[in-house]
Amino acid sequence: MAGVAQPAGLPAGPFSPLARSQYAALTSMRWSMFRNSLRTTRGAIELGARSIAFAFYLLIGLGLAAGFGGGTYAIAASGKWEILSALFWALFVMWQVVPVTLASFQEHFDLGGLLRFPVSFGAFFLLHLIFGLVDASTVMGGLCCIGIWIGMLFARPDLYAWAALALVIFAAFNILLVRAISAWIDRWLAQRRTREIVGALFFAVLLSVQLLNPAYWSSQKHPHVSARTRAAGLRWLEKANSVQRWLPPGLAALEVERSGGRRTVAAIESASLLGIYVLGVGAVLGMRLGGEYRGENFGEAPARRKVEPRTRSWLLDGSGPIAAVMEKEARVLTRAMPLIYALAAPLLMVFVLSGLFIKRGVAQGPANSFSLLVSLAYALVGFTQLFYNNLGPEGPGIQMLFLCPTPMRTVMLAKSLFHTLLFFVDAVLVCIITSLRIGWPVPAAIAATIAWLLFALPVHLAAGNVFSLNMPYRMNLGRITRQRGSQASALFSMLIQLGVLGIGTGIVAACSYFHRLWLAVPVFLVLALAAFIAWMRVLSSVDGMAARRRESLLATLVRTD
Partner 1 sequence: MEIAAIQTHGLTRRFGDLTAVDDVTFSVAQDQFFGFLGPNGAGKSTTIKMLTGLLEPSAGSIEILGQPFTAGSLDLKRQIGVVPEGMALFGRLTAPEYLRFVGRMYGLDRQTTNQRTDELLDFMQLSNETRKLVTDFSHGMQKKLALAAAVIHGPKVLFLDEPFEGVDAIAAGMLKSMLQRMISRGATIFLTTHVLEIVERLCSHVAIISKGRLVANGSIEELRTGVASSLPGLEAGQRLTLEEIFLSIVGAGGQEAAQELSWLA
> Under the rule (CB under 8 A), what is the footprint of partner 1?
299-302, 304-305, 308, 310-312, 314, 317, 319-321, 323-325, 327-328, 331-332, 335-336, 393-407, 477-478, 543, 547, 550-551, 554, 558-559
What are the helix (H) ranges across 158-261?
A: 160-189, 192-221, 227-244, 248-260
Q: Closer to partner 1 at the Cβ: 296 or 300?
A: 300
Q: Closer to partner 1 at the Cβ: 157 or 299?
A: 299
Report the nearest approach of partner 1 to the CB of residue 347 (Å).
Answer: 23
Q: How far apart are CA 228 and CA 383, in angstroms?
A: 47
Report the nearest approach of partner 1 to the CB of residue 374 (Å).
Answer: 33
Q: Closer to partner 1 at the Cβ: 47 or 336?
A: 336
Report the nearest approach of partner 1 to the CB of residue 324 (Å).
Answer: 3
In angstroms, what CA-CA distances link 496 with 148, 319, 501?
36, 36, 8
On the 0-12 / 13-18 / 19+ scale of CB atoms within 10 A, 349 is middle
Q: Closer to partner 1 at the Cβ: 102 or 477?
A: 477
Q: How far apart are CA 469 and CA 552, in angstroms?
A: 9
Report the nearest approach of partner 1 to the CB of residue 399 (Å).
Answer: 4
Report the nearest approach of partner 1 to the CB of residue 462 (Å).
Answer: 22
Q: Closer to partner 1 at the Cβ: 314 or 440?
A: 314
Report the nearest approach of partner 1 to the CB of residue 120 (Å).
Answer: 24
Report the nearest approach of partner 1 to the CB of residue 303 (Å).
Answer: 10
Q: How far apart are CA 302 and CA 281, in angstroms?
A: 32
Q: How far apart are CA 379 and CA 127, in angstroms?
A: 36
Q: Closer to partner 1 at the Cβ: 4 or 530?
A: 4
Residues 6+ apart with CB under 8 A from 222: none
Q: What is the DSSP string of 479-517?
A: -SSS----HHHHHHHHHHHHHHHHHHHHHHHHHHHTT-G
Q: Report the amino acid identity of residue 319.
A: S
Q: Closer to partner 1 at the Cβ: 16 or 552?
A: 552
Report the nearest approach of partner 1 to the CB of residue 341 (Å).
Answer: 15
CB count within 10 Å of CB 234 equals 10
CB count within 10 Å of CB 503 equals 17
The answer to whether 23 and 123 are in contact (CB under 8 A) is yes
Q: Closer to partner 1 at the Cβ: 8 or 227?
A: 8
Residues 6+ apart with CB under 8 A from 423: 379, 380, 383, 457
Q: How far apart are CA 404 and CA 106, in angstroms?
A: 36
Q: How far apart are CA 190 and CA 62, in angstroms?
A: 37
